[in-house]
Structure 1
Amino acid sequence: MIRPLEKPQNKYWLTFALCGLAAALMFLPFYILDKGFFLYAGDFNSQQIAFYYSANQFVKSGGGSFSWATDLGSGFLNSYAFYLAGSPFWWLSLLFPAAWMPYLMVPMLCLKFAVAGGGAYLWMRRYTRKANMAVLGACMYAFSGFTVYNVFFNHFVDVVALFPYLLWALDAAVYEKRRGPFAVLVALNLLNNYFFFAGQVVFLAIYFVCMVLAGRYKINGRTFGALAFESLAGVGMGAILAIPTMLSLQNNPRVSSFSDGFGLLLYSSVQQYAAILYSFFFPPDCPYMPVIFDSGVIKWTSMTAYLPLVSMMGVLAYCRCKKGTAFKWILSVCLVMALVPGLNSMFYAMNSSYYARWYYMPVLIMCAVTIYGLEHEDEVDLKKGLRPTLAVLVAYCAFALVPTETDDGGWKIGVMDYPEKFFLNFGIALIGVLLFWVLWLMYKRTPQLPRRLTAAVLVFGCLYGAMHIAIGKFAQWDNDKDFYQQQYVDGRALAEILPEGAYRIDDYECYDNLGLWVNRSDLQTFNSTVAPSILEFYPQVGVKRDVRSAPEVDEYALRGLLSVKYTICPVDKQEEFEEKAGDNWRYWTTQGQLAVYENTDWLPMAYSYDAYITEEEYEEIPEEYRDNLLVRAMVLSEEQVNTWGGGLRHLTEAEQTDFDRASYEEDLDDRQAMAASSVELDNWGLTANIQLENSTLVFFPVPYDAGFTATVNGEEAPVLKVSGGLMAVPASAGDNTIRLEYHTQGLNVSLTLAAVSAVVFAGYLVLCARARKKHRAALAEKYHLDPPQPRQ
């Protein structure tokens, strides 16, 4: 039953406070243990803490467009739009110094939990009889398995927090004819995260159609037109980061691979189906440590839709007892989409990579139907959800009991690598369901029911959430024990003592993304949205590049080519590094737990060549020798050879072989003799001074990006993509000052679109306000009402 909101019963801030406080209690033991510097595991440590710190520092150092500390260098907005650049939570964190960022991760997470709960309350209040029941449902959403699981990724919780407001605004636009909030929330959600917004568009389409077909939404042409306009206006206002990012990512292999054939209809492993079912009934597994399933795509996928305490009991009871309702249709469609790979991929623009990172949206509906069952016991028999929920929980025990032959020909009981973790999850889920049932029997039909259940959900959410985090955290305890010292303390100290200049660093056996703490371009980088040409360049020289860059230490020529001047390694790894690295590294200094070595064979970040090789010839060179070749000659296309190759000679066939260490040293000496006299880096690009004997191409070991422009002695010059994804600029004989400047491609278009959309939207709001005023005046005249008096 749809009912108008009652202002006296608005408990938004109560819900906000309860969820924030409960989250604080969940994190408190770890916050104390880590002395305020909360460490979790994996992506949270490697990316989220470092990204918040580095991005804060970047903005407060004057801002700009290009981050040299991101891999080989990447556009700032394009690299961090997915992670934080559009997030209101990150922008709020800018009120504090960069050095505070690691200590603010938990307070920011608590705020996100609070915002998520508040938004869920706003949306759910419309569908509940009592405000306290909406508070209960909102707490279930805030502490759902999806939210708790995605603390690991941190910025995913931003999406969970903001989505309910979008759904609330859609309902308000239809039911109350409220104009404006929907467009604003569309813009905010798109700005917050373009990747998740694609899935939100799909879900809102499902939600809207089901609500119309079920008769919940009464849509006329005027309402539909308003929704269409606000959708477009919201997208226009929120596309500030989306357009530049889409232009950047269009060549990223992670987003350009699409499902086809059997992959559209069936998952390759039957375990995927069992894992999906498991994710609805059990608390989530650690992201990197699946409890049961070892086949299929399980890790890192955010595959969980667990509701704290109640599990699937309320959802199953509702779906079994109610027929033809909008919410049942929505959940049915979502279940089908989860089970069909092609439909699942619709939430990610048909990308072939499997993710379940859209489950938070049906989770909100699941919370609502659970509350409906509690409030309408005459329509929903909860026993019809209790029995199948218990049956599924018990059925999964078969995986712990089935006999299994081992690799050595013996036998064991169960197929699980972590049976103790399964039984912990099983116990948590079972206790939750039974506790919920006991509380239901004790307090149903009494005013105390929502309060008792809310308290139980919050306590249960804190406990199972803390256990979930503890499993992921303590499994990495020994590995992460030096993180604080090496990254936060020693890394920041090295940023102060390393010499100024244009060069890169490398690190050996350090924690991920040390370069962000040192504020230097680092060959070892963990970021999946860097400049696409980085992902193009590395595989051509035999270096795997998926979500991270990690060239092996023996790639000496690659380090010379890419201007690596220093390598950093833990003190206890010095002997190991010296053994593997070679004689061209000499000890430089030690800072705390980190030792620094200087590369005697490094090149400045601008130099020229006397020879070239064609792209076709380059492809014939074995991958393991290509980095050596790139120190000897530049790789050009046939068109580039014809236009710009006049100052270069063609490498002979004999010179396209012989790639040993001695020849590398000779080639390195040649490049150093033809190198720039100075190179300066800044947040917009670089400036190089170089003297040339002949007109030729000046090479920059910088990832090519269409956003770069170049001037030579103040005159515009073309920027060429050479050597498998790096850059070159033509220059004349004599002294040359070359300026490479990065302008985020598409940003001017997106800013113009956002500004125009905002102006048009403002005009729309004015028209809506006038229409409302005119409508009220007409009603007053019709029913002889006194016109509203102006406020004193």
Structure 2
Amino acid sequence: MLSNRRFQNIILNKYVITGLLCFSLALLSLLLFIIQGDGFFIVRDDFNEQQIPFTIGLHQSILDSGLSGFSWCVDLGTSTLQAFSFYELGSPFFWLSMLFPAHLFPYFVAWIYIIKYTVAGIFAFAFLKRFIIDEKWAILGAVLYAFSGFSTVNLMYYHFHDVIALFPLLLIGLEILIEKKDCRLFIFSVFLNAFLNYFFFIGETIFLIVYYLFRFSRKDLKAMAGEIARCLTSAIVGVGMSAILFIPSILYIMQNTRSKSDFSTEGLFNNLRYILFNLKGLILPAESMPDMSAIFPSKFYSTAAYLPMIGLVLVMAYIIKNRDWLSRLLIFCLIGAFWPLIGNAFFLYMDVQNRWWHAFVLIMALASCKVLEDLSSYKKPIKIGIVINALLIVFLFIMVCYIFKDPEGASTLYAPKRFIIYTAVSLIGISITNIVINAFNGNYKLFIGCISAFAVATTSLTLYVYRANGTNVASYKEIYDLATQIQLPDDQYRINNASNVVSMVSNSSGFSLFTSTDSVGITTFETLFDYKDAVNGLNKNTYPGLAELLGGRYYLATEPTGNNIVATYSSNGITYFMEETEACPIGFKVDNYITENQLKDIPVENRAIALMQAAVVSNSDSSALEYIEQAQDLDLETSVSELVARAQANSVSNFYKDGKGFVCTSNFKEDSVVYFSVPYDSGWYATIDSKHADIIESGGMMLLKIPAGNHDIEFNYVTPGYKLGLLISLICFLIFITICIVSKKRHPSSH
């Protein structure tokens, strides 16, 4: 057993204090909403329709096939790694959730959220204390960081909090590398963040470069060159350790048209509306993205950096008094917050939506801590900071309420009462800041108590708005509980339902379409119908015959419609019927082909009917289809029912699919070509009777030439780049272990 003194030392350890404080504040912020849902926690929109089903879908996909397999529950089917590496595949918090049954995720997601807040606070403290003499102020700074507006506005984006939690490690690792020439933590932190989220890692890398230049630039260029070389080689090892996810992810986004953004003039010169919007994010508590009170009615940007209670007061005070690296970095970030030529550079001028602001928040928290630690030197700058912050709030209020209009001349004040509340909270916050500093001489306990209260209040307020305007726990839970019961009767068909919840929670093949990370084959297929969207897939019921072509045989109804009922389910006292209708099997023989140019000449509303009669191929592939003829005159008046019956008569048999691919058998009287409505990418490998067979891409789907007679067909899937990434990761881990062994002898006390 622990001695009393040792136990007291643990309790008084400032890491423990920081963790317990952040845990408690997060619990207080979320507790009411956990209770309201009887433990079932949801937020709104993306959290409900992506974060929850994605986590469950990933969980089940990992159990099916590991990292490199194929997830049938993501739209028409997508590589597990490609679909989920932007979300949670590399997150330690996701792997923690794997300890529990997948379907229970909504019951413990709030507790993992609380853990994320706790970890964010602990790592922020570890960074801040390096610059603070009295570490108690670093605890306060950790609260500012963990509960900033950036964390609050992103409550809808569950996996963004993974990035918030682990980012401070990068800066700590860099500090130790420069100070002690010990690269161990830096390598590991680079690995952890690159493995966690490749998109955010790009922005963090650029911020790290900016941080180094402001923090460590000096006239000794030779010494700087050595440091940069050490940082670069360490970073290469760290990224290499993450290669098992990083390389396949980069290969994927290079092909995915949904992930690309154009460099526009708006990225160079923001208009007044965006300037006011960004200003609001800095000086007012964060709002609900889908339901904002002012400037934009909704905006899915992470534009929030409000520090609980103190706002920009202490940041302004630090800038006013100091001319050091930190003040220059703060000024640079402030300029970048309003000038996209700098701000968007953090993500190479993609549509970044201010998602680098978590790094800005940490630097703001550092400046605020340093001011509080030395209050006597900052009395006058703080007074000026309070005046500046108050004037900015008043300016924003007047602009929004009385002056600024949208381009059509309409008011940009959408929820006046809520805007007044947020404005009042901000004004009250700087008033209390002024009182605590001047009347109570910056009393630490009073300061951290007030900031903690504001952290809970602002987090709870925004979460309340998220939930109050668009979330019904009972109705969501009804669909969720229904999805946990669904099991499709036949692997050859899909469920005709566009909901992520239905497909991913049930782990069923379907038409889920609310994802920007589905297969490149799917986006290629959608271009056949002149469709392109950065987030949502094509609704498969848009055109006659499309759902039938793609195997959408099963659908859900609350009343029988006269079709064959294959299953009944009960959820929330309501009976649901799974019925089946006509649909082509996933694999069926085709007799003709047409080129992409020919298909595009057909009216878009008739193209699915055309594809049920002839497979589409590129002009370069058409010469390889000696088994079938090019279609001359397609009958676009043929009924869908007739075409479905023809496809079913020419179906492959014994079709079975899992996370590693699919198998089937054929018994055609003549050499044939089979169309598989499965998204194509280079990770597929096909065999016929265990012998390699060439796959032909067909407008994002797949064709296979099959000889006459009985044959066993097998398609196996491994994510492109996975094997190379695995090899690089293993090599780099060995290098890292070697570095750790050598460094332990050189730096026995480094931590």
* TM more than 0.5: yes
C-alpha displacement of 1:536: 2.2
Deviations 1:632-685 (A, max 9, x none): 101112222212x22112211x32xx423x433333232222211221011101
C-alpha displacement of 1:220: 5.5
C-alpha displacement of 1:354: 4.2
Scaled by the length of structure 2, the TM-score of the pair is 0.93
Alignment map for 1:659-738 (pairs within 5 Å) = 659-660=636-637, 662-722=638-698, 724-738=699-713
CA 1:554–1:127 in 2, change beyond 3 Å: closer, same or farther? closer
Q: 1:784 maps to which residue?
A: none
Q: 1:11 maps to which residue?
A: 14
Contact 2:521 2:680 in 1 (8 A): yes
Q: 1:345 maps to which residue?
A: 344
C-alpha displacement of 1:615: 1.6
Contact 1:212 1:219 in 2 (8 A): no
2:517 paired with 1:517: no
Deviations 1:233-252 (A, max 9, x none): 11111222111011122222
Contact 2:149 2:304 in 1 (8 A): yes
Deviations 1:137-184 (A, max 9, x none): 111101000011112101000000001121111112222333311100
CA 1:554–1:196 in 2, change beyond 3 Å: closer, same or farther? closer
Q: 1:145 maps to which residue?
A: 149
Q: 1:475 maps to which residue?
A: 469
2:616 paired with 1:641: no
**Quick one: which of 422, 435, 439 aligns to 2:436?**
439
**Quick one: which of 36, 41, 45 aligns to 1:42?**
45
**Quick one: which of 240, 245, 248 aligns to 2:252?**
248
Deviations 1:307-342 (A, max 9, x none): 00001111111112212x111221222233333334
Any idea what SS the aligned residue of 2:585 has?
A: coil
Q: 1:768 maps to which residue?
A: 743
Q: State the alpha-carbon separation in 2 of the partners of residues 216 and 457 from structure 1.
A: 42
Q: 2:356 maps to which residue?
A: 358
Contact 2:195 2:246 in 1 (8 A): yes
Contact 1:538 1:545 in 2 (8 A): no
One-letter code aligned to 1:289: D
Deviates more, 1:251-260 or 1:89-98: 251-260
CA 1:214–1:135 in 2, change beyond 3 Å: closer, same or farther? farther
Deviations 1:572-626 (A, max 9, x none): xx59xx6xxxx9x555544224633534321111111111111211121111111
Q: State the alpha-carbon separation in 1 of the partners of residues 384 and 479 from structure 2.
A: 55
C-alpha displacement of 1:717: 1.0
C-alpha displacement of 1:303: 0.7
Q: State the alpha-carbon separation in 1 of the partners of residues 575 and 268 from structure 2.
A: 51
2:569 paired with 1:591: yes
Contact 2:531 2:538 in 1 (8 A): yes
Contact 1:525 1:550 in 2 (8 A): yes
One-letter code aligned to 2:336: M
Q: 1:619 maps to which residue?
A: 600
Contact 2:191 2:239 in 1 (8 A): yes
Q: State the alpha-carbon separation in 2 of the partners of residues 739 and 11 from structure 1.
A: 58
Alignment map for 1:599-610 (pairs within 5 Å) = 599-610=580-591
Contact 1:263 1:342 in 2 (8 A): no
**Quick one: which of 272, 284, 290 aligns to 2:286?**
284
Deviations 1:533-576 (A, max 9, x none): 2122124225554312351646341111101110124x2xx59x
Any idea what SS the aligned residue of 1:716 has?
A: strand
Alignment map for 1:194-273 (pairs within 5 Å) = 194-213=198-217, 219=223, 223-260=227-264, 262-267=265-270, 269-273=271-275
Q: 2:524 maps to which residue?
A: 536
Deviations 1:746-776 (A, max 9, x none): 0111111111112122222333344458x99
CA 1:231–1:8 in 2, change beyond 3 Å: closer, same or farther? farther
Q: 2:5 maps to which residue?
A: none
CA 1:404–1:633 in 2, change beyond 3 Å: closer, same or farther? same
Alignment map for 1:431-510 (pairs within 5 Å) = 431-444=428-441, 449-478=443-472, 480-487=473-480, 489-495=481-487, 498-507=488-497
One-letter code aligned to 1:560: E
Any idea what SS the aligned residue of 2:447 has?
A: helix
Deviations 1:475-522 (A, max 9, x none): 1144x53111221x2111123xx42423110127xx543111222122
CA 1:357–1:554 in 2, change beyond 3 Å: closer, same or farther? closer
Any idea what SS the aligned residue of 2:439 has?
A: helix
Q: 2:331 maps to which residue?
A: 332
**Quick one: which of 553, 563, 570 aligns to 2:551?**
563
C-alpha displacement of 1:133: 0.5
One-letter code aligned to 2:16: W
One-letter code aligned to 1:329: R
CA 1:188–1:641 in 2, change beyond 3 Å: closer, same or farther? same
Q: State the alpha-carbon separation in 2 of the partners of residues 218 and 7 from structure 1.
A: 44
One-letter code aligned to 1:283: P
Q: State the alpha-carbon separation in 1 of the partners of residues 747 and 458 from structure 2.
A: 49
Any idea what SS the aligned residue of 2:417 has?
A: helix
Q: State the alpha-carbon separation in 2 of the partners of residues 265 and 126 from structure 1.
A: 36
Q: 1:783 maps to which residue?
A: none
Any idea what SS the aligned residue of 2:545 has?
A: helix
One-letter code aligned to 2:312: M
Q: State the alpha-carbon separation in 2 of the partners of residues 666 and 563 from structure 1.
A: 15
One-letter code aligned to 1:371: C
Contact 1:141 1:364 in 2 (8 A): yes
Q: 1:526 maps to which residue?
A: 514
Q: 1:424 maps to which residue?
A: 421
Any idea what SS the aligned residue of 2:657 has?
A: strand
Q: State the alpha-carbon separation in 2 of the partners of residues 387 and 33 from structure 1.
A: 41
Alignment map for 1:58-69 (pairs within 5 Å) = 58-61=61-64, 63=66, 65-69=69-73
CA 1:288–1:636 in 2, change beyond 3 Å: closer, same or farther? same
Deviations 1:84-137 (A, max 9, x none): 100001111111121321111111000000000001100000111211101001
Question: What's the % identity of the aligned pairs?
Answer: 27
C-alpha displacement of 1:523: 1.0
Higher RCO structure, 1 or 2 (CA under 8 Å, sep 6+): 2
Contact 2:689 2:711 in 1 (8 A): yes
One-letter code aligned to 1:475: N
Any idea what SS the aligned residue of 1:241 has?
A: helix
Q: State the alpha-carbon separation in 1 of the partners of residues 221 and 384 from structure 2.
A: 29
Scaled by the length of structure 1, the TM-score of the pair is 0.88
Q: State the alpha-carbon separation in 2 of the partners of residues 504 and 618 from structure 1.
A: 25
Contact 1:70 1:521 in 2 (8 A): yes
Q: State the alpha-carbon separation in 1 of the partners of residues 465 and 56 from structure 2.
A: 26
CA 1:331–1:224 in 2, change beyond 3 Å: closer, same or farther? same
Q: 2:311 maps to which residue?
A: 311
Q: State the alpha-carbon separation in 2 of the partners of residues 625 and 770 from structure 1.
A: 72
Q: 2:6 maps to which residue?
A: none
